[in-house]
Amino acid sequence: MENQGVTPGPYRATKLWNEVTARFRAGMPLRKHRQHLRQHGRCFTASEAADWLWALLRSDGHFGPEVTREQAVQLLRKFLKNHVIEDVKGRWGSEALEDNGQLFRFPETSPLKSVPHHHPELRKSNLENMSKEKESIFKLRPLSRRTPKKHVYQETTENIRSEIGDENKENPVEKREISQEDIEEIWRHIILMHLQTILGTPSLEEVLDPTQVIPQYIIYNMANTSKHGVVVLQNKADDLPHWVLSAMKCLANWPRSNDLSQSTYAGFERDVFRTIADYFLDLPEPLLTFEYYELFVNILGLLQPHLERVAINALQICCLLLPPPNRRKLQLLMRMISRMSQNVDMPKLHDVMGTRSLMIQTFSRCVLCCAEEVDLDELLATRLVSFLMDHHQEILQVPSHLQAAVEKHLDYLRKGHITYPGDELIAALPTYSYCKQISTQEFDEQKVSTSQVAVAELLENIIKDKRLPLKEKKKKLKQFQKEYPAIYQARFPTTESEATVFGDKPTIKQPMLILRKPKFRSLRY
């Protein structure tokens, strides 16, 4: 079943709902059924629908193979409640559907939900506010970087150079002091720029409000970490309660961390797990917070085999936006459930489900959900938590390339203006542009080129990551070469250029040059 795809943007969960319902109506086989001595045409049983929908969801990249049959049945119940389907007597509006031989059919009315639209004046006002905010930092009118030709620049490069040159004649170059406000605004700019590049969207304004990017959180999450990369909180009142931390440590290291001096009993580990689950499920909002729901739902579109590295890079940045207490809880939770799901010595915690499925089904809703109930919340959260479990070490580590990008921008600010700034200063200025409508073909072509830029940037990040062990770096580069051979070949056209990444290695080991054959004295007399 081919995945049709949903374009990035606001209300993506609603768009996904419409896509799933449309594919279900178009593909679900209909035939005659007999029930209570009466024959019904063009209908299906609940079990048949569950079989077909379950296969559809598992093969769809937005939901993935972690979807259970029970979740497929639950979605069918929501279909009945929202009049996507009705029973053969025309009844709907409840969730009275079981996985059995009950007969259902499709109504004649369209089941698609309407997608709200942002008011254009609000988007314009938002862009103008961002522009004014940045002008106070860079002392220049907004200037777009080199972007696809769909952007119409407010001013040309020549006009900017002329303006800067006139200004510098009156004001000689001086090194300026960088305020904390300057640093925070540059962090916001770098985060928005990187996310827009990775997601390949013309704009982030309908997915992420710039005011939701809080630089203080990002700086704290990068600077205050333990040796394992977990956020360390200065205010212990924001941390997990001691009894929850002890319980999580107990299960994460089972059975090594279990204090043998403390008496246990049959089902002890189940009670400990239930205690942890109750705490996280009682949190007032999910760990990824309500305000970032649209952002993370849009990233779900990247969870495809050929876009795995891009998805990791995007999630790595997005998880830096979280309040430090949330990021710490997410890190500890992912470490625990990942270890538990891989622990062959872990006792069975559920009569039916395996440990991995139990972890995903239990904690999905406390990681991601919408403030207003969305019909696909559970399925979307399941997909994201499954991916986080498998890649949490990379996703929740501190990305060094962001710090380097910020330092580069700060360096330009410290130096002040130069007479002819050229490409270097232009590249350091904020990315703001005014867009015009383009054709679908142009957008698709530019989307591909933007994605290639993001993948090339990912390759550079792997090459320049000094914290990455050499063995791991070789492994990642080999995987990258397999996935993106053209981009890899452009970066390393020869074996000599590839060797510079790992350092020069002599073809003959030095000790071999001075080896001499030992002399043996004859044993004869």
What is the residue-wise DSSP string for 68-125?
Answer: -HHHHHHHHHHHHHTTSSEETTS--SS----SSS-EEE--SS--PPPPP---HHHHHH
Q: What whole-number distance in Å separates Cα of residue 91 and Cα of residue 89?
A: 6
Contact 269, 347 (CB under 8 A): yes
Q: State pTM to two decimals.
A: 0.68
Specify the pLDDT at position 456: 76
Q: Identify whether residues 201 and 341 lie together within a single domain.
A: yes
| Closest listed residue to residue 79, CA positions, set 58, 94, 65, 61 | 94
Asked, for residue 462, whether it belongs to a domain, the answer is no
Q: Identify whether residues 66 and 204 lie together within a single domain.
A: no
Residues across the chain: 525
Q: What whole-number distance in Å separates Cα of residue 144 and Cα of residue 156?
A: 9
Residue where a domain terminates, one of 379, 400, 421: 400
pLDDT in tens, the chain (525 residues): 344 456 666 788 888 999 999 999 999 999 999 988 899 999 999 999 999 999 999 998 888 888 999 999 999 999 999 999 999 999 999 999 999 999 999 999 877 888 766 544 444 444 444 444 444 433 333 333 333 333 333 333 344 344 444 544 444 445 667 888 889 999 999 999 899 888 887 788 778 889 999 999 999 999 999 999 999 999 999 999 999 999 999 999 988 765 544 557 888 899 999 999 999 999 999 999 999 999 999 898 888 878 889 999 999 999 999 999 999 999 999 999 999 999 998 999 999 999 999 999 999 999 999 988 888 889 999 999 999 999 999 999 998 888 888 888 888 877 764 333 344 433 443 343 334 555 666 656 665 666 677 777 778 878 877 777 888 888 888 888 887 888 888 888 777 777 777 665 544 444 444 445 555 555 554
Specify the pLDDT at position 289: 96
Asked, for residue 318, whether it belongs to a domain, the answer is yes
Q: What whole-number distance in Å separates Cα of residue 197 and Cα of residue 314?
A: 10
Q: Identify whether residues 191 and 84 lie together within a single domain.
A: no
Residue where a domain terminates, one of 373, 400, 427: 400
Q: Identify whether residues 195 and 305 lie together within a single domain.
A: yes
Asked, for residue 135, whether it belongs to a domain, the answer is no
Beta 86-87 vs 434-435: how paired, if at all?
unpaired
Asked, for residue 443, whether it belongs to a domain, the answer is no
Q: Residue 305: which domain range?
A: 185-400
Asked, for residue 231, whether it belongs to a domain, the answer is yes
The 10 Å CB-count burial string (b at 16+, else e) for 255-270 is: eeeeeeeeeeeeeebe
Q: Identify whether residues 202 and 84 lie together within a single domain.
A: no
In the chain, the number of structural domains is: 2
Specify the pLDDT at position 443: 59
Q: pLDDT tens digit string along 98-142? A: 999 999 999 998 778 887 665 444 444 444 444 444 444 333 333
Contact 418, 401 (CB under 8 A): no
Place of tokens 């290291």: 253
Q: Identify whether residues 229 and 375 lie together within a single domain.
A: yes
Q: Identify whether residues 75 and 220 lie together within a single domain.
A: no
Helices (H), ranges, 258-323: 268-281, 293-299, 308-318
Kindly tell me the sign of the dihedral angle through the C-alpha atoms of 455, 456, 457, 463: positive
Contact 167, 159 (CB under 8 A): no
Q: Identify whether residues 237 and 381 lie together within a single domain.
A: yes
User: How distant, in Å, are the alpha carbons of 67, 118, 145, 240, 290 from that of 333?
Assistant: 21, 36, 40, 11, 18
Q: Identify whether residues 280 and 396 lie together within a single domain.
A: yes
Residue where a domain terminates, one of 376, 400, 424: 400
Backbone dihedral region for residue 64 (phi beyond 0: left; psi -120 to 50: alpha; all else: beta): left
Residue 393: both structure tokens together: 């070490």
Examine residue 255 and say whether the peptide bond preceding it is cis (omega within 30 degrees of 0). yes
Asked, for residue 180, whether it belongs to a domain, the answer is no
Q: What whole-number distance in Å separates Cα of residue 86 and Cα of residue 92?
A: 5
Asked, for residue 76, whether it belongs to a domain, the answer is yes
Contact 374, 14 (CB under 8 A): yes
Asked, for residue 263, whether it belongs to a domain, the answer is yes
Q: What whole-number distance in Å separates Cα of residue 94 and Cα of residue 468?
A: 54
| Closest listed residue to residue 82, CA positions, set 125, 151, 25 | 25
Contacts of 490 (CB under 8 A, 6+ apart): 456
CATH number of the domain to which 82 belongs: 1.10.10.10
Which residues pair with residue 39 across a beta bridge?
34
CATH number of the domain to which 274 belongs: 1.10.555.10
Contacts of 37 (CB under 8 A, 6+ apart): none
Contact 66, 383 (CB under 8 A): yes
Contact 269, 251 (CB under 8 A): yes
Q: Identify whether residues 354 and 216 lie together within a single domain.
A: yes
